[in-house]
Amino acid sequence: MSSNGHHGHHGPRGPVDSSRVPRYAGPATFARLPRLDEVGRADVAVVGVPFDTGVSYRPGARFGGNAIREASRLLRPYNPAQDASPFALAQVADAGDIAANPFDIGEAVETIEAAADELLGTGARLMTLGGDHTIALPLLRSVAKRHGPVALLHFDAHLDTWDTYFGAEYTHGTPFRRAFEEGILDTEALSHVGTRGPLYGKRDLDEDARMGFGIVTSADVMRRGVDEITDQLRQRIGDRPLYLSVDIDVLDPAHAPGTGTPEAGGLTSRELLEIIRGLASCRLVSADVVEVAPAYDHAEITSVAASHTAYELTTVMSRQIAAEAAGAVEAVEAAEGADAAERSPAEAR
């Protein structure tokens, strides 16, 4: 196989064959996929960011990425819900971890942005495993350099548009306020999904609305149903480049106890996965799943939910990459046909 992965003769390199090597054996890359250095380049790079210095309550999300990888051993190569084999449609690979300074949030944010720039510069889309939600800011900066201001769907119990904590501007509760201020979000297409729980005051909601965010609460999902909500989100996003950020605490603590700031009354894992599947027609340019804190988990409940969330997001990206590649081939063939017709009009008739 050639060193540049899916450009070889055999198509993308997929996961380890579980009929030959049991799922619990060998290294826990995401979904048992090859490492990025084994395939040269990837269409989707799954990358960990073990950073949790921005948390305001329980620490521990620095261990989230590897917990998700461990739980992802059970993922299989065919996704019936989307009728797709994501790892055959595009080269997906595990790019390891971005090592960020745990004692200096500002430096960590710069490191994450630079590493994301490098990966996106290869043409890959990112499926990032956090880490706390602080990391969404440098990831959004990086994606916006390539696509301009992006649409954002933010799945979270919390708004994460607060201004400061203890005078600190860069925390896991402030990334989308900073992103709004920096002009890297498309303010026509911003939405929180799954928000709930007590706030510091009504002003939190007023300021959030001023930035252009719509809010779909967890109660809205319960009352109106997944299909209606997903349809509304699709209309809001249109064909804009979309970044999707999932704080695992969007799920009810029954479905995700292993997180830093749990709130009762959340989505079920089934609702979250179905909403993501319903966004398959959107232009998903990169995504993250953050705030998995395995020290508070039971029986890998949270890590399993997060691994399946990342799997659905990866499937959406792989399907789009394959569709874009097919469209590009058709365009080339059409252009070649037109050229041929011009060269020999008599034969073309």
Q: Is the pTM of this model over 0.85?
A: yes
Q: What is the mean pLDDT of residues 203-213?
A: 97
pLDDT value of residue 2? 36
Q: What is the pLDDT of residue 5?
A: 43
Hey, how many other C-beta atoms are within 10 angstroms of the C-beta on 213? 21
* pLDDT on residue 176: 98
Token digits of residue 3: 């060193």
Cα dihedral sign, 77-78-84-85: positive
Distance CA 16, CA 119 (A): 23
Separation CA 54–CA 135 (nearest Å): 9
* Nearest Cα to Cα of residue 99 among 87, 112, 114, 110: 112
Tokens of 49: 């960011």
Checking if the pLDDT of 4 tops 50, the result is: no
Mean pLDDT to the nearest integer, 84-99: 98
Confidence check: pLDDT of 255 > 90: yes
pLDDT tens-digit map of 280-313? 999 999 999 999 999 999 999 999 999 999 999 9
CA-based radius of gyration for the chain: 21
Average pLDDT over residues 261-276: 98
Are 213 and 191 spatial neighbours (Cβ–Cβ below 8 Å)?
yes
